[in-house]
Amino acid sequence: MTDYLVKAIDKTKNLRLLTITAKGVVSEAQKLQDTWSASSAVLGRTLVGGLLLAGAQLTDKEELTVRLLGNGPVGPTVVTAKADLTVKGYIKNPHIALPPKKNGHIDVKKAVGQGWFEVTKDLGLKEPYTGQVPIVSGEIAEDFAYYLTKSEQIPSAVGLSVFVNPNNSIGEAGGFMLQALPGASDELINKTIKRINALPALSTSFLDGMTPEDLARKILGTDCKILEKQDVAYKCDCSKEKYAKILETLDTKQLKDMINEDHGAELTCAFCGNKYSFNEDELKDILAKKKAEKD
Ligand code: ZN
**pLDDT per residue as tens digits for the range 43-86:** 999 999 999 999 999 999 999 999 999 999 999 999 999 999 99
User: Dihedral (C-alpha) 190, 215, 37, 164: value to the nearest 10 degrees?
Assistant: 140
Residues of the chain with CATH 3.90.1280.10: 240-293
Q: pTM for the complete prediction?
A: 0.94
Residues of the chain with CATH 3.55.30.10: 4-234
Q: In angstroms, what is the span from residue 235 Cα to ligand 1's centroid?
A: 8
Residues around the ion ligand 1 (C-beta < 5 A): 236, 238, 269, 271-272, 274
**Region of poorest pLDDT, from 39-48, 107-116, 120-129, 257-266:** 120-129
pLDDT digits (tens, 9 = 90+) for 156-210: 999 999 999 999 999 999 999 999 999 999 999 999 999 999 999 999 999 999 9
Q: In angstroms, what is the span from residue 236 Cα to ligand 1's centroid?
A: 5
Q: What is the mean pLDDT of the chain?
A: 95
Q: In angstroms, what is the span from residue 277 Cα to ligand 1's centroid?
A: 13
DSSP for 30-69, written as a single string: HHHHT--HHHHHHHHHHHHHHHHHHHHH--TT-EEEEEEE
Is there a contact between 175 and 139 (Cβ–Cβ < 8 Å)? no
Give the mean model confidence (pLDDT) for residues 104-124. Answer: 94
Give the mean model confidence (pLDDT) for residues 89-113. Answer: 95
Asked whether the predicted pLDDT for residue 293 surpasses 90, the reply is no
**DSSP alpha helices (H): ranges in the chain?**
23-33, 37-57, 108-112, 141-151, 186-197, 202-207, 212-220, 240-248, 252-257, 280-294
Q: For the domain 240-293, what is the CATH superfamily, name and number? A: HSP33 redox switch-like (3.90.1280.10)
Asked whether the predicted pLDDT for residue 125 surpasses 90, the reply is no
Asked whether the predicted pLDDT for residue 295 surpasses 70, the reply is no
Q: In angstroms, what is the span from residue 250 Cα to ligand 1's centroid?
A: 19
Give the mean model confidence (pLDDT) for residues 13-34. Answer: 97
Return the amino acid letter for 54.
A
Q: Categorize the per-residue pLDDT at 124 as very low, low, confident or very high, splitting at 50, 70 and 90.
A: confident
Q: In angstroms, what is the span from residue 211 Cα to ligand 1's centroid?
A: 30
Q: In angstroms, what is the span from residue 193 Cα to ligand 1's centroid?
A: 39
Q: For the domain 4-234, what is the CATH superfamily, name and number? A: Hsp33 domain (3.55.30.10)
Sheet of 63-70: strand order equals: 129-134, 115-122, 63-70, 77-82, 86-91, 233-234
Q: In angstroms, what is the span from residue 82 Cα to ligand 1's centroid?
A: 15
Q: Categorize the per-residue pLDDT at 126 as very low, low, confident or very high, splitting at 50, 70 and 90.
A: confident
pLDDT for 110 equals 97
Return the amino acid letter for 289.
K
Q: In angstroms, what is the span from residue 170 Cα to ligand 1's centroid?
A: 21
The span from the first CA to the last CA of the chain, in angstroms, equals 55
pLDDT for 290 equals 85
Q: In angstroms, what is the span from residue 153 Cα to ligand 1's centroid?
A: 34
pLDDT for 168 equals 96
Q: Tell me the β-bridge partners of 40.
A: none
Q: In angstroms, what is the span from residue 33 Cα to ligand 1's centroid?
A: 12
Of the two residues 290 and 137, the one the predictor is more confident about is 137
